[in-house]
Amino acid sequence: MSAVHDPQALIHWFEHLSPETIDQLPDFYAADAEFKDPFNEVRGSAAIAQIFRHMFTQVDEPRFVVGSRFGGPDGVMLLWNFHFRSRGPLSPQSFTVRGATHLRFDAAGKVVLHRDYWDAAEELYAKLPLLGSLMRGLQRRARA
């Protein structure tokens, strides 16, 4: 069983993540931790930290809000909303992406697996101005 029975400190870190707090990642992640989301698959805490750094260069005001968590002997599942504002030449828009994260911990209580689950087509692409109309059209055609 994991040494982490209450991942509240990790959740607090996620919810208050900033460019200044990314360097705290090794406090929570094992050196050889694995990370996978719809766009990335990396190994190592330095590579994971780079994904978070990249997020801050791509969007404005990124913020995670964890709504629920479910734990077991192998880890925890977090349900979250990711809020951010788009960047670019068009007027910035606010977005919310809903997703889940599966975390597994080692004997020391550090994250060894971080797997994000969210639907990039529904939660992101369908909300973009040009691509969104195409995605919504495809969704209409695919519905039963």
**What is d(CA 1, CA 108) in angstroms, rounded to the nearest whole number?**
10
Q: What is the mean pLDDT of residues 71-93?
A: 84
Query: Domain spanning 8-118 has what CATH number?
Result: 3.10.450.50
Q: What tens digit of pLDDT does each residue of 114-140 get? A: 999 988 665 555 556 555 555 455 556
CA angle 52–77–53, rounded 5-degree value: 0
- 3-state per-residue secondary structure call for 10-39: HHHHHHCCCCCCHHHHHHHEEEEEEEECCC
Domain ranges of the chain: 8-118
Q: Where does 1-144 have alpha helices with state H?
A: 8-15, 25-28, 45-58, 120-123, 129-142
Of 59, 60, 94, 100, nearest to 81 by C-alpha is 100
**What is d(CA 114, CA 43) in angstroms, rounded to the nearest whole number?**
10
Cβ atoms < 10 Å from Cβ of 51: 16
**What is d(CA 110, CA 7) in angstroms, rounded to the nearest whole number?**
10
Q: What tens digit of pLDDT does each residue of 15-50 get? A: 999 999 999 999 999 999 999 999 899 999 999 999
Q: Is the pTM of this model over 0.85?
A: no
